[in-house]
């Protein structure tokens, strides 16, 4: 049984064609960095146990096909004024998009599948982000470690992975979605996210996404740069791919990435960003999803998953085979 439709997780129908507005909308002026709240993130992290082979997340791994929704997660994140300003001021994603993507994926894989290495990765992330401060789009100061912004990045990734499984991966029933989200929250606590900022269940996550879209997210210059990158504008070939071959593949990749990104965004955020969606675009996305699911079923796990995720899948199977808790 798949999850019920939600504006925060499943693509909607009856929208207009994916297009990019020619100019950014107004910068958000409604965000004021929250005051620090009681409690030290390091204390939260110190009491959290990294994920292991008894988790559903390790059993499911992380298929490489999830890259199709990477743009969705990134847009959700940079539409947050603090995250967008930090990426504008400190990220190298425009000058080195493939390197930035590889480093981001490597960090996420370590957070989810690194075992005890996840704690060290979380400490390094918190330390690096302490120096990410500046003036936001609205002229107010920001810091990357603002509790709400720090939590939002993790929540956006988790909401995107639930969307991936329902659309492109192995659909999860309601109980499995709850267990997957509980695993994601456990990884969040290792990152130092306070328990109060982690929605208690999937319904609460969807409500938080909808609330954040309505009250906090908005258009900004980083959103526009991310959209340009998603359609591979001025993006060179990935490492080891010859330039002439990239010139042939890039026009094919643009509509796939744009449909997968725009079609899975919460409809209210699409409206805020001026991204239209049509029935024709929805049909294209449906065909893409069916193709990805069908093709993935025939790919060996070793090739389908990122290496760290594949090792986690194998470890979970050994754990189950030795009498551990089943999936």
What is the model's pLDDT at position 33? 46
* Token pair of 206 as six digits: 């969807």
What is the model's pLDDT at position 5? 33
What is the model's pTM? 0.85
What is the model's pLDDT at position 313? 97
**Rounded CA Rg of the chain:** 19
What is the model's pLDDT at position 45? 63
Q: Collapsing DSSP states into helix, strand and coil, what is residue 133?
A: strand
Place of tokens 């791994």: 61
What is the model's pLDDT at position 32? 43
- Burial of 323 (C-beta count, 10 Å sphere; 0-12/13-18/19+): exposed
What is the model's pLDDT at position 44? 63
What is the model's pLDDT at position 228? 92
Answer yes or no: are the C-beta atoms of 28 and 81 closer than 8 Å: yes
What is the model's pLDDT at position 96? 87
DSSP notation for 239-290: TT--HHHHHHHHHHHHHHHHHHHHTTS-HHHHHHHT----HHHHHHHHHHHH
What is the model's pLDDT at position 92? 83
10-residue averages of pLDDT along the chain (327 residues):
35 40 44 46 72 97 96 97 96 86 95 95 94 95 96 98 96 97 97 94 98 98 93 86 88 92 97 96 96 95 96 96 64
């Amino acid at each position: 049984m798949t999850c019920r439709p939600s504006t925060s997780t499943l693509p909607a129908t009856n929208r207009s064609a994916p297009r990019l507005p020619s100019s950014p909308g107004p910068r958000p002026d409604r965000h004021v960095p929250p005051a620090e709240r009681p409690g030290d993130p390091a204390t939260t992290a110190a009491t959290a146990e990294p994920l292991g082979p008894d988790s559903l997340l390790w059993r499911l791994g992380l298929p490489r096909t999830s890259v199709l929704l990477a743009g969705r997660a990134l847009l959700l994140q940079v539409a947050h004024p603090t995250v967008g300003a930090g990426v504008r001021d400190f990220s190298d994603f425009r000058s080195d998009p493939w390197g930035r993507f590889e480093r981001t994926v490597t960090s996420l894989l370590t957070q989810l599948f690194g075992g005890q290495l996840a704690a060290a990765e979380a400490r390094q992330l918190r330390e690096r982000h302490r120096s990410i401060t500046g003036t936001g789009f609205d002229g107010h100061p920001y810091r990357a470690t603002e509790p709400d912004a720090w939590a939002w990045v993790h929540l956006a990734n988790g909401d995107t992975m639930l969307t991936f499984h329902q659309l492109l991966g192995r659909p999860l029933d309601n109980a499995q979605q709850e267990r997957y989200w509980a695993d994601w929250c456990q990884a969040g606590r290792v990152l130092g996210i306070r328990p109060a900022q982690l929605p208690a269940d999937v319904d609460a996550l969807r409500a938080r996404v909808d609330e954040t879209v309505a009250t906090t997210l908005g258009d900004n210059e980083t959103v526009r740069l991310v959209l340009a990158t998603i359609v591979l504008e001025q993006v060179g070939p990935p490492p080891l791919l010859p330039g002439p071959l990239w010139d042939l593949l890039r026009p094919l990749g643009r509509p796939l990435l744009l449909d997968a990104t725009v079609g899975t965004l919460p409809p209210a955020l699409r409206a805020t960003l001026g991204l239209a969606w049509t029935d024709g675009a929805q049909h294209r996305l449906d065909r893409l999803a069916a193709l990805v699911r069908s093709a993935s079923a025939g790919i060996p796990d070793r090739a389908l998953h990122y290496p760290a995720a594949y090792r986690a899948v194998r470890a979970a199977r050994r754990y189950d085979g030795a009498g551990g808790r089943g999936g």
